[in-house]
Amino acid sequence: MNIPISPPPDNHLSSSGLSFERVSLRYGRDTEILTDVSFTLNQGSLNFVTGPSGAGKTSLLKLMYLHMRPSRGLINVFGHDTALLNRKDIPALKRRMGIVLQEFRLVDHLSVFENVALPLRVSGRPRREYVDDVVSLLQWVGLGERMGAMPQTLSGGEAQRAAIARAVIAKPDILIADEPTGNVDHEIGVRLIRLFSELNRLGTTVIIATHDLALIPDTANVLTLRHGTVIHKEAHRGSSS
Amino acid sequence: MEAHHKTWLKQEALLPADKPRDNPLFIVLAILAFLATLSLLSLKVSYQAAGHWSANLNETATVQIKPDATSDEAALVQMAQSAKDILLKSPNISGVDILPKAHSQALLRPWLGDAPLPDDLPLPTLLHVQLRPGQTLDVARLSSAFTAANLRVDIDNHAHWTKDLNRRARAAQLLAVFAFFLISVAISAACIFAIRAGITAQRKLMDVLHQIGAAPSYTARLFSSRFALGGFKAGCIGALGAFILLFLLSVFSETTGSDNYFIPGFAIGLQDVYLSILIPVFMALVSAVAAWHTVMKTLIAEMYS
């Protein structure tokens, strides 16, 4: 069953959306990490993946951001069947995604500004064109005074905001965040979720994995995993399907 | 915002110099470049020497007029002149020099020492024969002519020397080629090893670049240009060191001189500097290719597997 997303597109699968159809994932010969997972996320939706530790949230996200291939099933990203994807097509699709990982992954020898500007630099845009965009975004996430700081000097919350800024600077179609509040206190966690909601209001499809149910806003769609299977889908809170 | 423009216009290097890790590699590469240049210039010298030996021996001959018990000085001079006249009649011969007695005596010095030789010691008279380029000596015809003129003569057309020396020269050339090949392999192996270490040290950067959608070729280009530049710099220093050393040896061996006819000195001149330039270019190329291949292999193996 698909999670109904505000307003449903004319065709079943939006080219900016993401869908899983009976997807399973197995590492080597071990037990399946994910089993028969199916859902569709449409463009512009705010989505949360929840479940206890070991439920398969991170693995599900890895499949979404094309870090690994499923053992079985069909994944469709931006209208592309990932089973048919050539390896050389992956970078172009990944550039349409913003990814925030629990461990931030800021480059130690680059300043906050350079870390955030990295996706634009890699895409080959002239520096003069994006300096203002990076500065504006850093001010928006509250790092206006920390642009020249090195990652080692940032607090957990600052580092997480820098990682989020880097993920959204290139205006991705989808933002995928794995436990973005895992390393910060509740107050900063709430502020980060507010930041994600704000990005979502600007049109970005947002997918966040978290085990902290208290952080999920009422307007979000929720996918609950346990032992690698989807046990609950909820289109906005209160109306489960 | 203008102030920010000024502050952030200078771009930081994505792959900065990592001195603690780079310096040992730089030294190793410079030493390898030094050895590679020595090997390459030795290769050049050995080829040059082989050519020198062959040309000298192929285009010259020695005629030895043996004295008998009754020959006095005047008779020996007369016999040498007769032999020279016979030799000059041959169309293959361009010139004949009667070597002075001192020359024959000098040939005995390595065995008999510097002490004066007895005046009555019978020494052969030597004639140095210069052949026209590409011509050989007609030994049979000349022998007949000498016999007819009643001259006791030995003709050495250097053939047996040429054969032996050419074989040794070829061995020296092969040895130099092999040494150069081994050094090239060592340079490649050192580069690959260093690049793998570099990738391990910059694993996070690679992962981040991969995460934000950088094509593997972008990352590979980053590493290969960095290692190519390092290889070129180290190559320049090593090659320059080796060239200066060999050039000084060459100058030194020229000024001290040598009376050994068969061992040419270090014939390295400023015109050979182009060979030294090949080494840093080669090292830059090997480093770039090794870095490119290693990064691409690593990234593609991990990409969407």
Residues B79, B15 within the same domain: no
By C-alpha distance, which of A106, A47, A94 is closest to A230? A47
Residue with tokens 């597109």: A9
Residue B269 within a domain? yes
DSSP-derived secondary structure for A150-199: -GGGS-HHHHHHHHHHHHHTT--SEEEEESTTTTS-HHHHHHHHHHHHHH
Q: Is residue B231 part of a domain?
A: yes
- Within its chain, how far is the Cα of B130 from the centroid? 28
Write out the DSSP string of A45-86: -EEEEE-STTSSHHHHHHHHTTSS--SEEEEEETTEEGGG--
Interface check for B201 against chain A (CB to CB < 8 A): the answer is: no
- Residues B183, B292 within the same domain: yes
Same domain, B81 and B44: no
H/E stretch holding A222 reads: strand A221-226
Nearest CA in chain B to A63: B304
pLDDT greater at residue B217 or residue B158? B217
CA distance B292 to chain A (A): 16
Name the region of A115 (left: φ>0; alpha: ψ -120 to 50; beta: rest): alpha
Residue A187: CB atoms within 10 Å: 9
Sort out which chain A residues have CB atoms less than 8 A from B11's CB and list them. Answer: 114, 121, 127
- Same-domain check for residues B277 and B186: yes
- Whether A144 shows a pLDDT value over 60: the answer reads yes
Q: State how far the Cα of A49 lies from the Cα of B200, in Å rounded to an integer.
A: 33
Q: What is the pLDDT of residue B301?
A: 80
* Residues B13 and B76 occupy one common structural domain: no
Domain stop point among B151, B174, B189: B151
- For B221, name the nearest residue in chain A, comparing CA atoms only: A122
Residues B269 and B179 in one domain: yes
Write out the H or E segment, with its range, that includes residue A97.
strand A97-100
Asked if B1 lies within 8 A of A135 by C-beta distance, the reply is yes
Q: Report d(CA B156, CA B161) in Å as an integer.
A: 10
pLDDT in tens, B65-92: 887 767 777 788 888 898 899 988 888 8
Task: Let me know whether B43 and B82 are in one domain.
Answer: no
Residue B60 located in a structural domain: no
CB-based contact (8 Å) between A101 and chain B? yes
Q: Which of A44-48, B4-8, B44-48 has the lowest mean pLDDT?
A: B4-8
Note the pLDDT of residue A54.
86
B211·A94 Cβ contact <8 A: yes
Q: How far is residue B153 CA from its own chain's centroid?
A: 39
The structural domain count of chain B equals 2
A66, B304: Cβ pair inside 8 Å? yes
Q: Is the pLDDT of residue B204 over 60?
A: yes
Residue of A113, A118, A143 to mutate for B, most B C-beta atoms under 10 A: A118
Q: Is A223 or B271 the better-scoring residue by pLDDT?
A: A223
Is B213 close to A166, i.e. CB distance below 8 A? no
- Report if residue B61 sits inside a domain: no
What pLDDT score was predicted for residue B265? Answer: 54
| B172, B256: one domain | yes
Which of B151, B184, B216 is the last residue before a domain boundary? B151
Gap between the Cα atoms of B26 and B14, Å rounded: 20
Which among B209, B113, B16, B193 is positioned nearest to A91, based on CA atoms?
Answer: B209
In this prediction, residue B256 carries a pLDDT of 53
Residues B272 and B177 in one domain: yes
Testing the interface with B: which of A80, A87, A136 to mutate, by most B Cβ within 10 A?
A: A87
Instruction: Give the model confidence (pLDDT) of B35-70 as tens digits.
Output: 888 888 887 877 777 677 777 777 888 888 887 767
> Is residue A25 classed as helix, strand or coil in its secondary structure?
strand
Q: Which two tokens stand for residue A167?
A: 């993920």
Mean pLDDT of chain A: 84
Among A81, A86, A90, A171, the residue to mutate for chain B (most B Cβ within 10 A): A90
B chain contacts of residue A85, beta-carbon cutoff 8 Å: 304
Question: How much is the average pLDDT of A14-20?
Answer: 73
Q: Among residues B151, B173, B203, which one ends one of the domains?
A: B151
B85 and B168 share one domain:
no
Contact between A110 and B8 using a beta-carbon 8 Å cutoff: no
The verdict on a CB contact (< 8 Å) between A105 and B8 is: no
Q: pLDDT band at A222, cuts 50/70/90?
A: very high
Confirm whether B62 is domain-assigned.
no
Tens of pLDDT, residue by residue over B100-153, are 877 777 777 777 777 777 767 778 888 888 888 878 888 888 888 888 888 888
Categorize the per-residue pLDDT at A48 as very low, low, confident or very high, splitting at 50, 70 and 90: very high
Domain housing B125: 67-151
User: Is residue B156 domain-resident?
Assistant: no
Integer Cα distance of A145 and B158 in angstroms: 87
Chain B CB contacts of A92 under 8 Å are 213
C-alpha pair distances (Å), B197 with each of A92, B23, B203, B289: 28, 13, 10, 16
Question: Is B242 a member of any domain?
Answer: yes
Same-domain pairing of B173 and B291: yes
A107 touches chain B (CB under 8 A): yes
**Do both B133 and B247 map to the same domain?**
no
Answer yes or no: do A67 and B1 touch at CB < 8 A: no
Give the count of beta carbons closer than 10 Å to the beta carbon of residue B90: 18
Nearest by CB to residue A68, choosing from B205, B210, B305, is: B305
Confidence label for A1 from pLDDT (cuts 50, 70 and 90): very low
pLDDT for B259 beyond 80: no
- What number of residues does chain B have? 305
